[in-house]
Amino acid sequence: MTNSLDKILITILTLGFLTTAYANTKPRVIVTTDGEADDRASMVRFLLSANEFDVEGIINSSSQFHWVGGEGWNAFHEVSWIRDYIDLYAKVYENLLLHDPDYPSPEFLLSKWKVGNINGIGEDDIRTEGAEWIVKVLLDKSDPRPVWIQAWGGCNTISRALKILQEDHPDRMEEAAKKMRLFLIWEQDETYQEYIRPNWEKFNIPTIISDQFDCMAYIWPKVLPETVKPFFEADWMTNNIINGHGALCEVYENNNGAFNAEGDTPSFLHSIPNGLRSMESPGFGGWGGRYVKIRNNVWMDPLPDTTFEYPARQWGFSNSWSKKMEHDTEPEKIARRTHYFKPIWRWLIDVQHDFAARADWCTKDYASANHHPEIRLKNTPLNITAKAGTKLKLDASPTIDPDKDSLNFKWWHYKEPGTYKGEIIEDSPTAKTKITIPKNAQPGDTIHMICEVSDTGLPSLTRYQRVIITVTD
């Protein structure tokens, strides 16, 4: 690597989020999991999505819900479940390779499996293999790319890793922080508040603390829109995922054939490079949700309404907005709840179709399965600057489909992540479209246009390309 490229990469890493310089490279990810039933369901989808990532670690951890010594529902699932799932992945691995040679080998995945801090709620005193592994990844100078560390359970193994960094490498804390990205499914123990926040937030680590995920957890039958629910019910799940799709899908945790829960899945959906560019900023929105900055570089869910407040301390089961709204029955409150979860559910039909295709890849040959279209733009930069009133051409006509399926196009204005809050730009159902930047747009306003392309294969698969327009003076 040249010195000039080194400087470029260092500049990228100091910006606090992933930039478009990494838009076409695989994200690096580390999973920490407490092994709950919904974690195990998420792991099936994660392993079938492993061609999209550079997997740097799969680490057993604990949480306030599951720990070694917990009893009844709080009992800890044996750490070997991760090895068992990778063994099942091995049984379909050769078939997955028919669809994408980037699927990592089972041996490679097993080499990334480590046991972290599991002995108690929020236990972060013991130096564990899992915590040491996180340190090793963050301090490895051979790969400067960011590392997305996901907390499917508590933050305690992550906390222990950061303590090791502070204790053993205090002079490298800032270096490690620049590589780190955190996606927390709630704060499932106190370690974020007690250690990570006071010692590491000052480094401006991009951190998502999600509550929206709950619409993919156990309450989904209550909160998903009626148009989305059929893709989680028993008929669809049994036919498209559980039955006849190989050894890994056969162990998918379900509720009498229906979706049970995958509350942790948004943490890695966020990192799938599907063209939505969500890794560039948590505020952009994508399969893992859309978030707003509340302090430093910490991002949480948009407020449901003005009567809700951001938590001063731990954000989780006891005080989440999701749980406050779960049992709402009045029409206006149901509408508020539906709107709250929209940043995730708006994509869920596409997400489920993606899952179904990957399940097919476990057993079908290439010609019998469907594969994602590849969006290609012509004379359309991903980032455009133009004055208010300017007419722009957006062109995705070179887009291809590997299966030669017919393609359906849609250009649409994703208003929420943009700073321009005026009129909505009209949708276009064609590969090529023309738009006019509204005359009342102000210098500095941003407008997010999404090119959405779905094929006509079964299941229909969708990819996107986001184009961001910045209004100039």
Q: Is 296 a residue whose pLDDT tops 70?
A: yes
CATH of domain 3-294: 3.90.245.10
19 or 177, greater pLDDT: 177
CA distances to 291, 332, 352, 374 from 460, in Å: 28, 34, 10, 13
Q: How do 407-413 and 446-455 pair as beta strands?
A: antiparallel
Task: Find out whether the peptide bond into 459 is cis, omega within 30 degrees of 0.
Answer: yes
Listed in sequence order, the residues at least 6 apart from 257 whose beta carbon sits closer than 8 Å to its beta carbon are 234, 235, 237, 238, 242
Nearest in space to 340 (alpha carbons), one of 355, 326, 359: 326
Q: Is 134 a residue whose pLDDT tops 90?
A: yes
Nearest in space to 16 (alpha carbons), one of 278, 293, 291, 203: 203
What would the pLDDT profile of 242-275 be if each residue is shown by its tens digit? Answer: 999 999 999 999 999 999 999 999 999 999 999 9
Q: Is 22 a residue whose pLDDT tops 70?
A: no
DSSP state of 194: I
Q: Check residue 240 and give its pLDDT.
A: 98
Structure tokens, 67: 């720990």
Report whether 407 contacts 451 (CB < 8 A).
Answer: no
Structure tokens, 65: 């819900």
**Strand (E) or helix (H) holding 383:** strand 383-387
CATH class of 371-472: mainly beta
Alpha helices in 150-204 (DSSP H): 156-168, 173-179, 191, 197-200
Nearest in space to 176 (alpha carbons), one of 184, 187, 191, 166: 166
Nearest in space to 204 (alpha carbons), one of 240, 241, 174, 226: 174
Residue percentage of the chain with pLDDT more than 90: 95
Domain map of the chain by residue range?
3-294, 371-472
What distance in Å separates the CA atoms of residue 417 and residue 284, rounded to the nearest whole number?
5
Q: Is 409 a residue whose pLDDT tops 70?
A: yes
What would the pLDDT profile of 350-397 be if each residue is shown by its tens digit? Answer: 999 999 999 999 999 999 999 999 999 999 999 999 999 999 999 999
What distance in Å separates the CA atoms of residue 439 and residue 124, rounded to the nearest whole number?
55
CA distances to 243, 270, 272, 288, 383 from 291, in Å: 36, 11, 17, 10, 21
pLDDT band for 6, please (50, 70, 90 cuts).
very low
Average pLDDT over residues 307-317: 95
Mean pLDDT of the chain, nearest integer:
94
3-state secondary structure of 467: strand
* Confidence (pTM): 0.94
Average pLDDT over residues 296-322: 96
Structure tokens, 248: 């890994």
Structure tokens, 19: 């930039």
Nearest in space to 209 (alpha carbons), one of 134, 310, 125: 310
Q: Is 468 a residue whose pLDDT tops 50?
A: yes
| Length of the chain in terms of residues written | 473
Nearest in space to 324 (alpha carbons), one of 229, 211, 221: 211
What distance in Å separates the CA atoms of residue 113 and residue 225, rounded to the nearest whole number?
37
pLDDT band for 61, please (50, 70, 90 cuts).
very high
